[in-house]
Amino acid sequence: MSDAKKLYIKTYGCQMNVYDSERMAEMLGASGYQETSTPDDADMILLNTCHIREKAAEKIYSELGRFKGLKAENPDLKIGVAGCVAQAEGQEIIRRQPMVDLVVGPQSYHRLGELEARAGNGVKALDTDFPEEDKFDHLASRPKARRGPTAFLTVQEGCDKFCAFCVVPYTRGAEVSRTPSRLLDEAQGLVERGVREITLLGQNVNAYHGDGDTLAGLIGKLAQIDGLERIRYTTSHPNDMQDDLISAHAECDKLMPYLHLPVQSGSDKILKAMNRKHTGDEYLRLVEKIRAACPDLLLSGDFIVGFPGETDADFEQTMDLIRAVGYGQAYSFKYSPRPGTPAAEKSHVEDAVKVERLARLQDLLTSQQRAAQQAMVGREVSVLFEKTGRLDGQLIGKSQHLHAVHVVSPASNIGSVRRVRITDSQTNSLTGELIG
């Protein structure tokens, strides 16, 4: 019988948190933990939190409340909170939920093993510092176990843009970039474990500047790794979309024709209030430039509806921008204030107005997404197969445009890139058939 302790991690929010959770699980593996899919039999529960969405902290407190019974049954159970809510709330989490044993911010989780060893039996461990040392220098080498064909790789953290609605500069800190040599080593290790596609992550990923390199330069170096077949990156800021990165979309075959480029609003007045430092017209010209370099590009975006001061005319300018761009995918949200951000102090748009505007905006975006998918019918695409589907003999993968594609195929094709002819479009996926 194994003496391994069981670790349950629940991850909230963005892909960067998914990556962080993987690294935290690897660190705790060195302390004798193995992951479990349920909290019921766990020796440690770790919530890796996100502070972007509305009432994020309250949702975490509610989630913690669900574990009181488990803690009562097993007083040795350790409960931890990591991530951006941990950074923002700090000691308040332990005050409001005394059963929490440790709290660690996103820049300090390289100390998680030490915190876990200290915590328990009434001892609380808290670390929400922004340490001078690079946490990645202190993370253990990644294990050599086989893994799935796709992986995330954090290359940049933090943000210096200070958008008026965003907490990231306060919870993740200033922009920092990892060195290319370390990233190449980690990417090579992932490929040796079976990874065929890597998505480069950053709060502002195209601001990457490791050892003076640019994101385009890093992509060029990664593209030389044998066995790495696909490269993606997210999330980008329009003001950091430099010419060499645009050129990479035309010149690097391994860089997929998909770009997530948030604009948030089409109104120059609202963009200025958001501190975005670009106009709607500048964004449209940038999109034209990128599409000239990569005509097959599928564009994704983010939109905030009902930002303080948004009028009907401002909202219509956003709708006009969406019509002008034609998005293949997009994410949209009602504005919700984040304590400590400049926008939180401004007068807010009535919620009923936000609800109505969001519904109209999402209807438009949905129609564009469906049109983009329908346009794929009859086309040949390349698909990296990742897993089996619910139906016998069905495989599911992603096209170069990040569309979900399912086909009838042997399971032996998992982990391979195959040519597929698209035969049908559903609400959130495409159906295809293997070619050859």
pLDDT tens for 27-47 read 898 889 999 999 999 999 999
Amino acid at 324: A
- Choose the most confident range, by mean pLDDT, from 37-51, 120-134, 157-171, 282-296: 282-296
Give the per-residue pLDDT at 299: 98
Q: Which two tokens stand for residue 304?
A: 């905030």
Lowest mean pLDDT, pick from 11-20, 37-46, 181-190, 227-236: 11-20
Length of the chain: 436
**CA–CA distance from 349 to each of 116, 270, 387, 432 (Å)?**
44, 13, 44, 45
CATH of region 5-127? 3.40.50.12160
Give the per-residue pLDDT at 86: 87
Helices and strands in the chain, H and E counts: 15, 19
What are the residue ranges spanned by the domains of the chain? 5-127, 146-374, 380-434
Pairwise CA distance, residues 351 & 307, whole Å: 11
Architecture of the domain defined by 380-434: Beta Barrel (2.40)
Pairwise CA distance, residues 234 & 299, whole Å: 12
| Phi, psi torsion values for 299, nearest 5 degrees | -105, 135
Q: For the chain, give the mean pLDDT.
A: 92
Q: Nearest-5° angle of CA 234, CA 157, CA 308?
A: 75
CB distance 79 to 116 below 8 Å = no
Q: What is the CATH topology of the domain spanning 146-374?
A: pyruvate-formate lyase- activating enzyme (3.80.30)
Q: Nearest-5° angle of CA 395, CA 401, CA 407?
A: 20
| Phi, psi torsion values for 215, nearest 5 degrees | -60, -40
Find out whether the peptide bond into 423 is cis, omega within 30 degrees of 0: no
Give the per-residue pLDDT at 120: 83
pLDDT tens for 347-397 read 899 999 999 999 999 999 999 999 999 999 999 999 999 999 988 999 999
Identify the three-state secondary structure at position 273. helix
pTM assigned to the model:
0.85
Residue 287 scores a pLDDT above 50: yes
Going by pLDDT thresholds of 50, 70 and 90, the confidence category of residue 1 is very low
pLDDT tens for 57-84 read 788 888 899 999 999 999 999 999 998 8
**CA–CA distance from 350 to each of 16, 266, 308, 347 (Å)?**
32, 20, 10, 9
In CATH terms, are 5-127 and 146-374 the same topology?
no
Question: If we measure between CA atoms, which residue out of 179, 134, 133, 186 comes closest to residue 26?
Answer: 186
